[in-house]
């Protein structure tokens, strides 16, 4: 991801795959992560619009709102790294398309839970390699919240499929 000439991912899921390959966050990777976290809000809003249960939808919207908060933290980390205020460009403010099916199947929720837990692990891995203590703190906060998101998604799954066992303990 450090190659600024590489083509940008075309959608949310491609961006998730790309950021998952990043070992150390440089500014270019942080910018991708900023855009991805902003788009995470759209991902969860899209899910909320499709689940057909207001209680489940509220949990998903809450995750989305917090994903936007993750982007704001990444913006602060970029500012620290650059040594000046972070002003996202129009390109960075452009969210990735989030192609979701019209109907959300129960099989999707364990996949999302795993992705959130993997997201926490990625944030912790980046934090472990971070030299600035404030950037490290911001990354760890985002990571911990990813696991919380996974728990909420598991709660959504339980609301929608009450006869199944939890995927996250």
How far is the C-alpha of 166 from the C-alpha of 69, rounded, in Å?
27
Query: Do the domain assignments include residue 5?
Result: no
Domain housing 67: 12-160
Question: Is residue 93 situated within a structural domain?
Answer: yes
The pLDDT of residue 165 is 52
Q: Contact 65/121 with Cβ under 8 angstroms?
A: no
**CATH number of residue 25's parent domain:** 1.20.1260.10
φ and ψ of 97, to 5 deg: -65, 140
Domain assignment of residue 7, yes or no: no
Q: Give the distance from CA 56 to its chain's centroid.
A: 19
Nearest one of 32, 160, 137 to 92, comparing CA atoms:
32
Please state the domain count of the chain.
1
Residue 168 covered by a domain? no
> What's the pLDDT at 2?
43
With 0-12 CB in 10 A as exposed, 13-18 as middle and 19+ as buried, what is 133? exposed
> Over its length of 169 residues, how does the chain's per-residue pLDDT go in tens digits?
445 556 678 899 999 999 999 999 999 999 999 999 999 999 999 999 999 999 999 999 999 999 999 999 999 999 999 999 999 999 999 999 999 999 998 889 999 999 999 999 999 999 999 999 999 999 999 999 999 999 999 999 999 987 655 555 4
16 phi and psi, to 5 degrees?
-60, -45
* Residue 136, in any domain of the structure: yes
Cα–Cα distances in Å, from 58 out to 55, 67, 127, 131, 145?
A: 5, 14, 30, 37, 17
């Amino acid at each position: 991801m450090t190659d600024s000439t590489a083509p940008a991912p075309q959608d949310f899921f491609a961006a998730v795959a790309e950021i998952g390959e990043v070992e150390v966050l440089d500014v270019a990777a942080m910018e991708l992560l900023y855009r991805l976290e902003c788009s995470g809000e759209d991902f969860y809003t899209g899910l909320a619009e499709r689940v057909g249960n207001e209680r489940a939808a509220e949990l998903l919207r809450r995750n989305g709102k917090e994903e936007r908060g993750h982007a704001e933290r990444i913006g602060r980390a970029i500012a620290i790294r650059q040594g000046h205020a972070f002003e996202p460009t129009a390109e960075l403010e452009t969210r990735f398309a989030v192609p979701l099916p019209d109907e959300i199947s129960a099989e999707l929720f364990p996949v999302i839970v795993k992705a959130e837990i993997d997201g926490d692990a990625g944030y912790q891995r980046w934090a472990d390699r971070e030299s600035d203590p404030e950037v490290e703190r911001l990354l760890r906060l985002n990571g911990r919240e990813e696991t919380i998101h996974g728990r909420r998604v598991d709660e959504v799954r339980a609301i929608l499929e009450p006869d199944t066992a939890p995927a996250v303990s």
